[in-house]
Amino acid sequence: MKNRAWYFVIPMMILMSIGAFLPLMVVVNYSQHYIFAGSAATYVGLENFVEVLHDSQFRGAVSRQFIFTFMILLIEIPLGIIVALALPKKGFWVAPCLVLLGIPLLIPYNVVGIIWRLFTQSDIGVIPKIFELLGGYYNVTLDSFDAASTILLLDVWHWTPLVVLLAYAGLQAIPDAYYQAAAIDGANSWRTFRFVTLPKLRSVLTLGILLRLMDSFKIYSEPLLLTGGGPGTATTYLSLFVARKAESYELGYASAASLIYFFIVLVMSYIAFQIITRIGKGGKVE
């Protein structure tokens, strides 16, 4: 080691390996055993993985997870950009707007879950009451669609502000000359947005999309507190599914599912990153 700076990195590497690498290896180890509570583990190779991949419950959780994440990105990213565009650029109202937007971000996940549970509780909640007054029907604990869309709404409420703040920071960094040039080139407002604003927001949006992608894949506390994964399995997302399995002491199975889960998040993030960074780079003359 020629570079002495490495010596300073070593303590951190040790901590990292204790904090992240070792637990992951334990999971890898577990995933290859049948483990029953209170008895010795039996080595079974990749059998757990085969079982997980053939489990219709797991597949259900995966497809639910994909739909959820897809919807999250579809709603939160455009909505975040729209809100950021609508925010005042300077003046007195900037600070109040940003603080108000930031409030949901400051609330812990489980508190968010509890708040929304109170909102949606069928006897005292405000949302069922509104539906009732309008002559509709809403019940989180009985209706699958209501439950799933409420979780979606909750996440939009909780995390769109993050996208807004990112996009807002990105917008502030675009020099005026770009808009002036677009005006001189005769671009209408859509084309100005498409070819000036959006490309300039690329890096912050990349960050936003990746953060939301990874985070929404990990959604856990909110459905746990709000619906408990129900009704039935309507809101049982991947993390809930894995936790259920671990709680019922199917540790080998849960470990295998976790690793597949981990792999999916990794691959999805990589694909998303590749797509975003490749959009609109060069190209042929038609």
Q: Which residues contribute to the site for another protein (CB under 8 A)?
A: 175, 177-178, 180-181, 183-188, 191, 195-196, 198-199, 202, 279-286
Least separation in angstroms between CB 259 and another protein: 38
DSSP for residue 105: H
Taking CA atoms, 145 is separated from 80, 149, 216, 235, 270, in Å, by: 24, 6, 18, 9, 31
Contact present, 30 and 47 (Cβ < 8 Å)? no
Of residues 113 and 170, the one with the C-beta less far from another protein: 170
* Spatial distance between the Cα atoms of 50 and 61, rounded to a whole number of angstroms: 16
Nearer to another protein, 131 or 193 (CB): 193
Distance CA 115, CA 172 (A): 33
Closer to another protein by Cβ: residue 63 or 188: 188
Q: Among residues 19 and 280, whose Cβ is nearest to another protein?
A: 280
Shortest approach of another protein to residue 177 CB, angstroms?
Answer: 4
Residue nearer to another protein on the CB measure, 24 or 174:
174
Residue whose CB is less far from another protein, 153 or 207? 207
How far CA 260 is from CA of 123, 160, 263, 264, 277, in Å, comes to: 40, 28, 5, 6, 26
Alpha-carbon distance 108 to 24, whole Å?
Answer: 26
Nearest approach in angstroms of CB 24 to another protein is 38
Provide DSSP, 256-272: HHHHHHHHHHHHHHHHH
Would you call the peptide bond into 231 cis, given omega within 30 degrees of 0 as the criterion? Answer: yes
Q: Give whichever of 37 and 285 is closer to another protein, judged by the CB atom.
A: 285
Distance CA 143, CA 232 (A): 10
Nearest approach in angstroms of CB 214 to another protein is 25
Three-point CA angle 205, 207, 208, nearest 5°: 60
The C-alpha atoms of residue 80 and residue 167 are separated, in whole angstroms, by 7
- Separation CA 274–CA 202 (nearest Å): 13
Q: Which helix (H) or strand (E) holds 34?
A: strand 33-34
Task: State the nearest-atom distance from the C-beta of 200 to another protein, in Å.
Answer: 8
Q: Name the minimum Å distance from CB 273 to another protein.
A: 17
Q: How far is the CB of 181 from another protein (least distance, A)?
A: 4
Nearer to another protein, 59 or 89 (CB): 89
Q: How far is the CB of 277 from another protein (least distance, A)?
A: 12
